Copies of this chain bind each other. A is one copy, B any other.
Amino acid sequence: MIGFTGARVDRADNLRLDEARLAELAAHEGARMMQLDGLDPVVDADGRLAWTAVASEGERIFLGLAGDVPLFAPLVRGDPLQRGNAFALLGSMPAEDAALWGGARSLIGWHGRHMFCGACGSATAPFRGGWGRRCGGCGADHFPRVDPVVIMLAEHEGRVLLARQPQYPPRRYSALAGFVEPGESVEEAVAREIREEAGIEVRNVRYVASQPWPFPGQLMMACVAEALSSELTLDLTELEHGFWASREEVAAALAGAPDASFLAPPRFAIAHSLLRHWVEQERR
């Protein structure tokens, strides 16, 4: 399972505009509210997400229906750019719980950055069960933002390009990544980012998989591309070091081998899934 995917919830978007029905669902004795510590998850003794009854007061977002159970999350304030303790908890959380929490975190964080209307500057208020904000001045509707990001392995003669940013934990290396800009496709963004960050031209960009990333709200699209050369010209404003890793090196890192040449990305990051895909699926 790719990290932050597999939430077992029917988003029931057809109910979002039905405020009376949402109020009924929230008042339902079986309804559940996700517990949060700021924007971090709260877990029970089993490492599962913790839930409480739905308070009658306070803003909330409607996450959807888990079978018959209406799920909500509190519309708390918190800085979505701060990661808090989430990484430590995510390592042992079931994928479906991480996915549900991740979606809630992204949506809640979006609210905090969109309290005012970008078009006219007036205050906005939530609507659609939390899946939008409406401007009290000009009436413009605003919808949750998801930022598409490409994350990719350039491949050359059986090795892939890995790099580290200065803020990574010691020995951690990962795939290159960058935001998709207006006016470019996924494939064009992959080629541009590898060119900008490593000075390498690529061809044959192939999409592999995707994941939502809740820090604060990206859609990560993982790709593999064929590098035309291997001499690196790293963008040292973004990257500290880069190297071409062999299948054996990547396999050792994914296995957590003590003598691995680098520390792999955490399992809930799609960079991990992408490296695993490359080791297992891309033998040619």
Please give the residue numbers on chain A whose beta carbons come within 8 Å of chain B beta carbons, in ascending order.
Answer: 2, 4-5, 7, 11, 13-14, 99-100, 102-104, 106-107, 110, 112-123, 131, 140, 142-148, 179-188, 192, 196, 207, 209-212, 214, 217, 219, 221, 235
Q: CB < 8 Å: which of B112, B121, B187, B209 contacts A122?
A: B121
With contact pairs A183-B214, A219-B148 given, residues A115 and B106 touching in the complex (Cβ less than 8 Å): no
Instruction: Show 9 residue pairs from A and B whose CB-CB distance is below 8 angstroms, ordered by the A residue.
Output: A2-B185, A4-B183, A5-B187, A112-B119, A116-B120, A145-B147, A185-B211, A187-B209, A221-B221
- Decide if A180 touches B115 in the complex (CB within 8 Å): no
Nearest opposing residue in chain B for A4, CB measure: B183
| Contact A115-B118, Cβ < 8 Å, known A5-B188, A182-B106, A183-B212 | yes
Q: Are B181 and A131 in contact (CB under 8 A)?
A: yes
Residue of B nearest to A220 (CB): B185
With A and B bound together, what is the CA distance between A123 and B116 in angstroms?
11
C-alpha spacing A141/B118, complex, angstroms: 13
Q: Is the CB of A145 within 8 A of B143?
A: no
- Name the CB-closest residue of B to A100: B183
The CA-CA distance from A211 to B189 in the complex, in Å, is 11
Q: Smallest CB-CB separation from A99: which chain B residue?
A: B183
Residues on B with beta carbons closer than 8 Å to the beta carbon of A102? 183
Kindly list chain B residues whose C-beta atoms are within 8 Å of the C-beta of A142.
118
Neighbouring B residues of A112 by C-beta, 8 Å: 119
Residue of B5, B99, B140, B146 touching A147 (CB-CB under 8 A): B146
Given the complex of chains A and B, what is the CA–CA distance between A229 and B214 in angstroms?
33
In contact, B110 and A121 (Cβ under 8 angstroms): no
Contact B221 A186 (CB under 8 A): yes
Given contacts A116-B116, A121-B121, contact A185 B210 (CB under 8 A): yes
Most buried by B among A102, A115, A147, A219: A219
- CB-based contact B110/A114 at 8 Å: no
Complex Cα gap A210–B190 (Å):
12
Residues of B within 8 A of A113 (CB): 118-119, 140
